[in-house]
Chain A
Amino acid sequence: MVLTLSDLPLDTATFAQDAQASGISSLGLNAKAFLFQLTTFMIVFLLLRKFVFSKLTATLEKRRGVLENSLVQAREIEKALQDAEAKAAKLLREARHEADTALTDARAQAQGLVSAAEEVGSQKVQRLLAEAEAQIRQKELKLRQELQVELTDLVAGATEKIIGQKLDKTSDEALIESAIKEVTK
């Protein structure tokens, strides 16, 4: 069975009377007290607004400004840091490049020095060899000359002995006769 409003056993007049009689009071509020509290609230609010809120707002504003500045500075610092990092990276790249270049140059220079030293060494060796060869040739020549002199002395000595032994009076006379012929020439 479906109940309707009219089925409810309510007395509408009573209900209206109760509603009019109670009003805000029915909510448990006292109008006077409410007004008083509202006034007090307003006064307190105005006082706070005048003496507290402005300073508080200023302080907050100041804090906000500080924070914003800090943020700006932080951003600037971050940007500077990024710039510095980029600059450092660039410097590092340049340094590496320069180091590579210097290393390459140094290697090339070292190779050049080694080649030059080898060349000088080779020339020195060639010169020493030539000098040694010349000295050997000179010594050989000197030895040959000494040997020739000794050989000549030996031959002459031997010839002298042989002549002394073999040249008898008859042979000597023949020699003298030949020498006398030389006188008339």
Chain B
Amino acid sequence: MNHISRRQLSRYAVERLLADHKISELSKELAAVLVGSNRNKEVDMLVEDIVRELEVRRQLVNAVVITVHPLTPLLRKQLNDALRKATAARHIELDERVDKSILGGLQVKTATRRWDSTARRKLTDLRKRF
């Protein structure tokens, strides 16, 4: 049996998704391949690879957004537009999270990029500069 890499699987999955195949069927196929090759533990990594592949193909960007206070609708829209402009992706999904430890500002992480404009990061840079 030929070994199929996770990257190959993710590309296959993205192509199937873009071809409007049913997600449930695609999920079964992928699960069958992973179980058949005894790689059950790679499910999470496969999902990450699929998300990365979607971002690379400018189809979907899943961004984790960390702030101290929840985003206002206006800021959410501004961020959505900014990410769309930065990645040129068709769809933007924001996974908003609140974390007081960043002190202030904003941190955005996608599958391939990361923006960190938090007060915590600026303090760390200042400390390193000293």
Residues on A facing B (Cβ under 8 Å): 148-149, 151-153, 155-156, 159-160, 163-164, 167, 169, 171-173, 175-184
Contact = CB atoms under 8 A, between A and B. Distances in A.
Given A172-B68, A173-B72, A180 B79 contact: yes
Given A163-B103, A172-B69, A182 B115 contact: yes
B88 to A, nearest CB: 12
Given A175-B119, A182-B115, A184-B86, A160 B103 contact: yes
Interface in B88-107: 100, 103-106
15 contacts: A151-B130, A152-B127, A159-B126, A164-B100, A167-B103, A172-B67, A173-B69, A173-B72, A176-B71, A176-B106, A179-B118, A181-B82, A182-B115, A182-B117, A183-B86
Q: How many B residues are at the interface, by size bracket?
A: 20 to 34
A175 B104 contact: yes
A149 B123 CA distance: 14
A152 B115 CA distance: 25
A142 to B, nearest CB: 16
A159 B83 contact: no
